[in-house]
Structure 1
Amino acid sequence: MNNPPKVAIVILNWNGVKHLCQFLPSVLASTWPNLDIVVGDNASTDGSVAFIQSNYPSIKVIKNDSNYGFTGGYNRVLAQVEADYYILLNSDVEVPPAWIEPVITLMESDPLIAVAAPKIKAYNQKDSFEHAGAAGGFIDSFGYPFCRGRIVYEVEQDKGQYQQSGEIFWASGASMFIKKKHWDEMGGFDDRFFAHMEEIDLCWRLKNKGYKIMYCAQSEIFHLGGGTLNTENPFKTYLNFRNNLLLVKKNLPFWKSVIVISARFVLDFMAMLRFLTEGKRKDAWAVSRAHQYYIRHIFEKGDPARRGPQVYNSKLTGMYHGCIIWDFFAKKHTTFTGLDRERFY
């Protein structure tokens, strides 16, 4: 590619020195010719910054004065990074040398493409997809996200079934390529999310404005996962349920969000009962706290999302016209290929 655009890989770190030690060498071996590597640090106390400065002086370090989470941390760091493209990359990701080239080539092919993601596979089981992203993200009519290659907690093996690049609904924040101009246009992440589902919110806002989110099958990376909050952490449960309600409230028109969230309260109550029957009382309480937060803030004055998005499209590519939870538990549809293709927009 003549005059390749400037790309900045930006890794947000919080007390992740062991991941930086393990995974930074593969990132530094990336072959894109016009590349900066930046580590944004959320006030780590484990010697992360000193480790980078001593071992990788070519890496730019931007230090935040506190732990602002995934959303606030990236918002503050990216305000200080100049590039044509940002790659938001988790610290626990291994990449092959030429992983950037196919994605940028795809994004350069269409000015409407704002965001793209590679295929995300599991670091510890490299023939399987990884929970956070897999082969591209989708969403159902009730705001439940799922992936091509992962529905609820069932993760598929990669047998070449998703080798076709194409438009999706959301790209995982574990490895998100985004054009800087679109990041700036949307104002980055919503700080309130702190962590989890902020990338879905950003992608939904972009899609409502007519931009495309793409999956690039020709690039694959390997994600360890659970580096900051593991799946057994009740705070993760709280963030997932709370942020999912915020996601629906922000991106659906007011009248539609009322209908969907009313249904979600019933479905989430069933999830609470399931946690209780499994002996996971802290997770059940986390769901309750998520609903309490939502109720306290539903009529918050000054909230720009109070009445939903300014522009709304009810038939966005990557949206599933149905309930993925019902299909998974009642119909036993555990793979993406088992879903009814006619129910996708």
Structure 2
Amino acid sequence: MEAFPNAEWICLDTNTGFAAANNRAVRHTADCRWVALLNPDTVPDPDWLAALHRAADSHPEYTFFASRLVQYDDPQKLDGTGDVLHVSGFAWRRDHGHPTLHRPRATGEVFAACAAAAMYDRQAFLDAGAFDEDYFAYHEDVDLAFRLRLRGHRCLYAADATVAHAGWGSTAKDSAFSTYHGHRNMVWTFFKNMPAPLLWKYLPSHLFYNALIVVWFMLKGRGGLICKAKWHALRGLPRALRQRRAIQRAVCISQEQIADGLCKTFLAPANRFRKNQ
């Protein structure tokens, strides 16, 4: 705390999870238009925040912004250039693991911002319902981005806003914690947000990939974990469907615009999952 004498600290009594903690901070900061989120396992370039503000000034049609993430332990590799959402409900960081020199992505629109280093219009963030606190952690940024996009908001990847991201700062990669929450929460995100005609259109893909993942984890000897995640996802569906009614009432863009923002390559989730193993 001594390193940031002008900062205001909000100390929580318990671990409320990523979603609830950030929601509390955003609601507490009432005297600004923009809120920037930065994980403790990141090291931003000195110009990072200024770069995001330049992007907001230059592109007023966008209301949330993704950073260029490089891997902390290997800055020659990308950690992500915005988030991708597949029609099946699976999501991943674009360009994750690719050499930085081979993927000089220009500033442009992406589906979502990885909330490890992102900036949001505060009022849009709150109007969309903020992060879903039942998620606790993982996939909450994609879920929020989906709700924002349904309301007509758009996300811009700012190519000059660079942050080194260690990743898995509080949990190990492929830990039981991250696997459980990630695979539970992606089911809720799909059913809460996908508009009805698209939901029925893409439901077979959603079911196929969920079944494939269950089989994969069973073959790896982790069947109990993935079955627990999917069972708890099903148990939470009534709550998700109640939320869905309010979310769908707020939709103000066409189904074509929604579909255009989704990845439709059938094998993309399988390829991404295989590369991460």
TM value normalised by structure 1? 0.71
Name the counterpart of 1:96: 45
- Residue correspondence of structure 1 range 240-251 to structure 2 within 5 A: 240-251=182-193
The structure with the largest helix share of the pair is 2
Name the counterpart of 2:77: 128
Contact persistence 1:71–1:193 (CA under 8 A): yes
Give RMSD over aligned pairs: 2.5
Query: Does 264-273 or 160-169 show the bigger shift?
Result: 264-273
Equivalent of 1:266 in 199, 203, 208 = 208
Name the counterpart of 2:266: 323
- Residue correspondence of structure 1 range 3-152 to structure 2 within 5 A: 52=1, 54-81=2-29, 82-130=31-79, 134-150=80-96
Q: 1:174 to 1:301 in 2, by over 3 A?
A: closer
Q: Larger radius of gyration, structure 1 or 2? A: 1
User: Which AA in structure 2 matches 1:126?
Assistant: P
Cα distance between partner residues in 2 of 1:129 and 1:235: 24
Q: 1:295 to 1:168 in 2, by over 3 A?
A: same
Contact persistence 2:36–2:120 (CA under 8 A): yes
Shift of 1:147: 3.0
Q: How many residues align?
A: 270
Name the counterpart of 2:170: 228
Cα distance between partner residues in 1 of 2:245 and 2:128: 17
Contact persistence 2:183–2:229 (CA under 8 A): yes
CA deviations 1:132-167 (Å, max 9, x no partner) are xx11111111111133312xxxx2111152331000
TM value normalised by structure 2? 0.87
Name the counterpart of 1:193: 135
User: Which AA in structure 1 matches 2:143?
Assistant: D
Structure 2 unaligned runs (5+)? Answer: none
Higher RCO by CA contacts (8 Å cutoff, separation 6 or greater): 2
SS of 1:163's equivalent?
Answer: coil
Contact persistence 2:86–2:269 (CA under 8 A): no
Structure 1 unaligned runs (5+)? Answer: 1-51, 335-345
Shift of 1:267: 2.3
> Between the two proteins, what is the percent identity of the paired residues?
21
Contact persistence 1:249–1:306 (CA under 8 A): no
